[in-house]
Amino acid sequence: MKKHKLLYFLLICLLVCNSSCRQQEPAECVDQIEAFDSQLYENDEIGWRINIPKNWSLTQRQKLEELDSEGRNLVKDSTETELAQPNFLVGFQKDQSNNFISTSDPFNEQTDGEWERHVEELRVLVGQTYRNQGLNCELSKLEAEEISGLVFQTFSARIDVSNGSIFNQRYYYRPFDGALFGVAITFNDKELGAEMLNAWRTSKFKDTNE
């Protein structure tokens, strides 16, 4: 089996996240957060800050890790591909089907290879995993998109679930000083998806916005 050191996001369409916590108790939601003040999340390691939309809930780190473990097992069973556990940064959700997840994991191009190639492998793996579960999945090609003056590689997936529901996912990746940073946005409500995308696209990175 091939061992991937790139991160893999939860298969939300199959393993929906149904646990969240109140924003007034951030210490119970996620640990290793550099700062969390009201609706603002900041991470000094990558110099990133994002305003979490009002009336959205932070996602419990423990729940993310539990679902991620199930997701990685599902990928392993479906594709004989073994994936490393990601390092979660912050996640927030409106409900179990509309959520935002961010991660950052160690990555060295000298030992791990070109990061763009890893992202392409992940794109293919996303489609393969969904299709092996009997779901119709339409994948976009890799594209470049600028966020806060920095260029990210991005692709999208449209998943037709057996009950007729349509889920959409958008993935973003970029290396930061020995780490591969990623964002995954999952939604089945276009308005909620647009709200998450707006929060992400208006987020700031210190390197370009001091």
Least trusted range by pLDDT, from 47-56, 124-133, 189-198: 124-133
Supply the pTM of this predicted model: 0.76
pLDDT tens digit sequence for 146-169: 999 999 999 999 988 766 788 899
pLDDT classification of 31: cutoffs 50, 70, 90: very low
- 3-class SS string, the chain: CEEECCCCCCCCCCCCCCCEECCCCHHHCCCCCCEEECCEEEECCCCEEEECCCCCEEECHHHHHHHHHHHHHHHHHHHCEEECCCCEEEEEEEECCEEEEEEEEECCHHHHCCHHHHHHHHHHHHHHHHHHCCCEEEECCCEEEEECCEEEEEEEEEEECCCCCEEEEEEEEEEECCEEEEEEEEECCHHHHHHHHHHHHCCEEHHHHC
Structural domains in the chain, CATH included, are 2-209 (3.40.1000.10)
Helices (H), the chain: 61-79, 109-112, 115-132, 190-201, 206-209
pLDDT tens digit sequence for 14-28: 343 222 222 333 333
